Amino acid sequence: MTTPSHSDSDLLRGIVQQARRAPDRTALVVGDRSLTYRELDTATAHLARRLVAAGVRPGQTVMVYQRQSLDTVIGMIAALRAAAAWCVVEPGRAVSAVRSVVAVATCTALIVDGRDEATPRDEVAALATSSAAAVLDISEDTEPPAVALPDQPPLRAPAYVITTSGSTGEPKAVVVSRANLATLIGSRTYPYTDGELVTFSAMRLIWDGCLSALAWALTVGGTSVLPDARMLPDVDAVAELAVRHGVSHFVATPSFYRLLLPRLGELKPTLRIVTLCGEPVPVRLVEQHREALPATSLHNEYGPTEATVTCICHVVPEAPQPVVPIGTPTDGTTAHILDRSLRPVRWGTRGDLYLGGGQVADGYAARPGLTAARFVADPFSTAPGGRMYRTGDLARLDGSGHIEFHGRADSQVKVRGVRVERAAVEAVLQGHPAVHEAVVLDATHSDDAVYLAAFWVPAPGVAPTPTAPALTRYCAERLAPESVPERFVAVDTLPIAPGSSKLDEAALRALLRSRPERRTAPSRHGWTEHERAIGEIWSQVLLHDEFDRADRFFDVGGNSHRVVALHLRLEAGWPGAISVGMLFDLDTVATQAAALSPDPATRIESEPADSTPLAFEV
């Protein structure tokens, strides 16, 4: 297949055209802030001139080092206007990982928000010193420099750099060209009405899944809506934002959509399409969607970062399906299911999924060997120099010719929509002085949400043995939140399957069922009745009792989806008393007990029917 030209779908060209065509139309909403196309054009041009004046040159990379806000998107587009590429990184990530990204992506400028206390000033200064990068603080109100913006580079120039997990724990930086992004935008064939297109991305800008709706909407003159950093952890706030703006096209991971769905009923008159991506779509979730939003089309989309967000799509039919396929390639993409010799497998047989066409990215920054191994020559392409990306995913064709996803061929797994390299988590865990060996496996809750379980062998002669909360804290200091295991199971030795030299994963998974994670709690002498009631809820959610009333929830095994489970149980006993967002500040047993009803006779008498912690993307 010849890859079509999508030069008319260039993101920057589209934004400039819409600023002329519909200048007063709302272009962008992030949280409670918004910009029209005229305002977006002015703000991005201003920041782009500051970047050029600071020394940014065509083809270089600008790091947008901010928590999610309207200014984050302004920074991304300003980088394009300066003929550079953007790279979004949130403060709070491991220092070594940020420095690695700055180095491999050759970032020549950092855009920061000096008003945000979450941005570590000392780290910004260290990054700037070590890389000689200029630092631009958006909180400083400056006059636009009297410099001209550069001519736009060819479409083959980089548009953005985005990081994914690496097997050694060091991030891989994927370089995506403007042509790749234009092909993605051009492949969005969703129906819409001009002036009524409002897209919603229920995800973070550090993940490229948000671009599926964001870039398309800004190019064709729609309104793109996203939560800000404050809203992201709060399901109610995210749903309210979508309802307030009358969203027509909604994008989320299946895990997060499961939580949002009961709150989206008010969108029935406007919501035309829901697109799920980042994880396999459970059949039960399709049924729940049909029950809640019967007139809204449901799409399942698939695509790795290395093939520019999503490039395979399935419009889920009304008739029930035993498995939800990922579908067929979108315009500009080819897909092949091959054996080890790069020959097509028989129809219905599992094989390795390869992707070709205009969305295949340039490769990994500063890693030519890995790029050559994963981006291979495309023997099926008629275009000179055609390449395929070896996804590492297994797939097959069903009876209707749709592609089914059948898991990973390597150690990667998706957790709340984020790709995690299990080997990277193992490498970090084995760096603990009390850990001799470690294996990390993916497991699922009863609602199909994926989590990580770590099985570890204690190092001989090391005492005391670390607790699960201690291992959680150790991993949280070195890994992204989605990469931190939820369960830690100590074993004497790693089992070997009978008749082979391979790890007996089945035996390890059986331990998750046979060893409920409940441990002896510290003394609760002196706790109030309210604190003991809250403590019992924490025990149910965390699956252990090893915490005191002053311990922070996220320091003793809590995470983004367990905080939702905590909220559900608190809501059952004290309706409306504490929102999900408040739990990120009221993060101890003591503060939660103090914030609830002062009547000590008030007790929780019930809990949700499904007591399994729920997962969502933040």
Residue 377 is predicted with a pLDDT of 96
Q: Looking at domain 519-618, does it have CATH number 1.10.1200.10?
A: yes
Q: What are phi and psi of 437, to 5 degrees?
A: -140, 155
Q: Quick one: which H or E segment has residue 472? A: helix 468-476
Asked if 561 and 444 count as a contact pair (C-beta separation under 8 A), the reply is no
3-state helix, strand, coil in the chain (%, to 5): 35, 25, 45
In this predicted structure, which of 150-164, 167-181, 272-286 has the lowest mean pLDDT?
167-181
DSSP 178-199: HHHHHHHHHH------TTT-EE
Q: 242 with 202: CB under 8 angstroms?
A: yes
CATH topology for the 418-514 domain: GMP Synthetase; Chain A, domain 3 (3.30.300)
Query: Where do we find the tokens 């030795």?
Result: 493
Q: Confidence band (pLDDT; 50, 70, 90) for 601? A: very low
- Both tokens assigned to 495: 């089992």
pLDDT (0 to 100) of residue 167: 47
Q: What is the pLDDT of residues 70-123, one digit of tens each?
A: 999 999 999 999 999 999 999 877 777 788 888 888 899 999 998 988 887 888
| Sign of the C-alpha dihedral computed for residues 72, 77, 78 and 79 taken in this order | positive
CA 4 and chain centroid, separation: 29
611 band by pLDDT with thresholds 50, 70 and 90: very low
Summarize the confidence of residues 179-185 as an average pLDDT. Answer: 97
Task: Give domain limits for the chain.
Answer: 37-153, 418-514, 519-618
Two tokens, residue 230: 């404050």
User: Which of 223-237, 241-255, 269-283, 405-419 has the weakest average pLDDT?
Assistant: 405-419
What gap in Å lies between CA 154 and CA 7, rounded to an integer?
10
Tell me the β-bridge partners of 174.
Answer: 162, 364
pTM across the whole model: 0.76
Give the phi and the psi of residue 597 in degrees, each rounded to 5. Answer: -55, 130
H helix or E strand, kind and range, residue 111:
strand 107-112
Asked if the model's pLDDT at residue 6 lies above 60, the reply is no
What is the distance in angstroms between the CA of the first residue and the CA of the last residue of the chain?
37
Residue 239: what pLDDT? 96
- Give me the CATH topology for the region 37-153: Rossmann fold (3.40.50)
Per-residue confidence (pLDDT) for residue 199, from 0 to 100: 98
Name the pairing type of β-strands 134-137 and 158-164.
unpaired
Mean pLDDT of 583-611: 64
Q: What's the pLDDT at 582?
A: 85
